[in-house]
Copies of this chain bind each other. A is one copy, B any other.
Amino acid sequence: MTKDGGKKDNKAAQYGVTPQSVDFNDWYNEVVKKADLADNSPVAGAMVVRPYGSALWENVVRWLDDRFKATGHESLIFPTLIPMNFIMKEADHVEGFAPELFTVNKIGTEELSEPYVMRPTSETIIGHMWSGWLNSYRDLPFLHYQWGSVFRAELRTKAFLRTSEFYWHEGHTAHADENEARAEVRTILDLYHEFCRDVLALPVVRGEKTASERFAGAVSTYSIEGMMRDGKALQSGTSHYLGQNFSKAFDVKFQTREQKEEFAHTTSWAISSRIIGAIIMTHGDDAGLIMPPRIAPIQVVVIPVGRKDNFDEMVAEGEKLAAELRAQGLRVKVDRRDGVTNGFKYNDWELKGVPVRIELGPRDLEQGVVVVKNRHGDEKETLPRAEAVAGMTARLDAAHDWLLGRATEFMLENTVTVDTYEEFKAAIEAGKWVRAFHCGDPESERAIKEDTKATARNVPLDDAEFFAEAEEGVCVHTGRPAAYGKRVIFGRQY
């Protein structure tokens, strides 16, 4: 439970969580469990997502799905299983995924001579199907995606961040030429960036991965990287240009306008349930979660404050207030629980990170006011009821801006520009991100990782909001001329 040194603070003992500064990992695990986001499961490496976590994930899915459709993408549904030999067809791909595969070797009573694997990702089977669907350049582009589970063995489970089964969309597109495919890769990266910034209040750095951090089978991998409150990086979404690697492995070819035969240029991209880990670890504080308002399953919680003799009446008044807020399209819950204290309720909804709480008592009702408290602030405000209702959307927008601003400031404050390897190691050890020149040699990256546990997160794009300055210099590790024409971001990662 709490590690508050045995203080007689009942609230902390019952509802509290370990402070972030004491143990960030304990804080995370306790918040996930106590806020009812997820639970451990009897399946090694897999979690159970509870209703509050599922509602959050559904909001993620809905926003992204709407945008995929609005940008011309079509959903489809591929099997969960993939013939084992498919995975073997693309050399880098098999090397990347073989150690993590779940193997199905029996169906009913029949032992399979050709086993299946539970998909770790679906490039292979989608390539196989595309080869049957694609004839002419007129059929292109294919702009496909699917929502579902994927399976990759994990030894040390951590809810949302590292689970053997996780949830995602995987986008897969095929194009007639490289330019169009690369434009798609960028369109999606920008869509992810917009989602993080404008919906989740997460500042992220758009950049390209170095060669050694690429997706298994990709020509170029782009990512968005966010900084958690312990200073570690979390890769929050990826978008890959796969060149013709998979189309050649799976014979995805077409007749061009000029009647020639050509292999398609393909892409793939994903955001997974890890993004929930990013939300938790970017915004949360010692009282628990702080939900970004635009994705929050519950945006406003109304707490009727009554005594036994008038509790039902106050609940009815709370429902009226909730109805007014819902009429503005807001997601509102009235806490109708009887038999628990108001203090319990306040703590519970703070732990769950609901952005705004409204308390409504009999005296407030008489005076036509309500008491409003933002999750991210300390002050309670007493406001005329009509004003509180009319101002709620603006209040939630302001909460969004506040969260985004705080996270941005935190990321900038905890990113250090260094020019010597000593500074590099010291900054990483202090839990910072480092901006440094690097020669681009994978061997050097490996040595740095062994030394410091830090990896190259990405090379910011020219038009990334952060850390994009063009610069020339020498490698912080090898002293050789720097690659990329700018500094690389290094950090420890989830």
Known A-B contacts A75-B54, A153-B108; the reply to A46 vs B81 at CB < 8 A is yes
A76 within 8 A of B: yes
Q: What size tier do the contact residues of chain A reach?
A: 35 or more
Contact call A43/B153, Cβ cutoff below 8 A: no
Contact call B125/A41, Cβ cutoff below 8 A: yes
A436 CB, nearest partner CB in chain B, Å: 34
Most B Cβ at <10 Å: residue of A41, A128, A133, A148: A41
A104 within 8 A of B: yes
Contact call B129/A39, Cβ cutoff below 8 A: yes
Stretch in contact with the other chain, from A95-103, A219-227, A356-364: A95-103
Most B Cβ at <10 Å: residue of A58, A86, A100, A104: A104
Contact call A54/B76, Cβ cutoff below 8 A: yes
- Cα-based distance from A151 to B100 in the complex (angstroms): 21
Task: Give the chain B neighbours of A81 by CB distance below 8 A.
Answer: 43, 46, 102, 165
Contact among B48, B86, B109, B116 for A77, CB-based, below 8 A: B48
Contact call B105/A41, Cβ cutoff below 8 A: no
- Cα-based distance from A318 to B459 in the complex (angstroms): 46
Instruction: Find residues 54-103 in chain A having any chain B CB closer than 8 Å to their own CB.
Output: 54-55, 57-58, 74-83, 86, 99-103
Known A-B contacts A81-B165, A101-B108; the reply to A58 vs B75 at CB < 8 A is yes
A118 within 8 A of B: yes
A167 within 8 A of B: yes
Contact call B107/A104, Cβ cutoff below 8 A: no
Known A-B contacts A144-B51, A149-B80; the reply to A106 vs B107 at CB < 8 A is no
A386 within 8 A of B: no
A3 within 8 A of B: no
Contact call B99/A74, Cβ cutoff below 8 A: no
Contact call A105/B103, Cβ cutoff below 8 A: yes
Contact call B107/A44, Cβ cutoff below 8 A: yes
Contact call B128/A42, Cβ cutoff below 8 A: yes
A377 CB, nearest partner CB in chain B, Å: 30
Contact call A104/B118, Cβ cutoff below 8 A: yes
- Cα-based distance from A83 to B42 in the complex (angstroms): 7
Contact among B49, B78, B148 for A41, CB-based, below 8 A: B78
Task: Give the chain B neighbours of A53 by CB distance below 8 A.
Answer: 76-77
Q: Which residue of B lies closest to A57 (CB)?
A: B77
Known A-B contacts A48-B129, A102-B107, A105-B105; the reply to A54 vs B42 at CB < 8 A is no
Contact call A79/B48, Cβ cutoff below 8 A: yes
A50 within 8 A of B: yes
- Cα-based distance from A86 to B42 in the complex (angstroms): 10
- Cα-based distance from A39 to B144 in the complex (angstroms): 15
Q: Which residues of A contact B (CB under 8 A)?
A: 39, 41-44, 46-51, 53-55, 57-58, 74-83, 86, 99-110, 116, 118, 125, 128-129, 132-133, 138, 144, 146, 148-149, 151, 153, 164-165, 167, 339
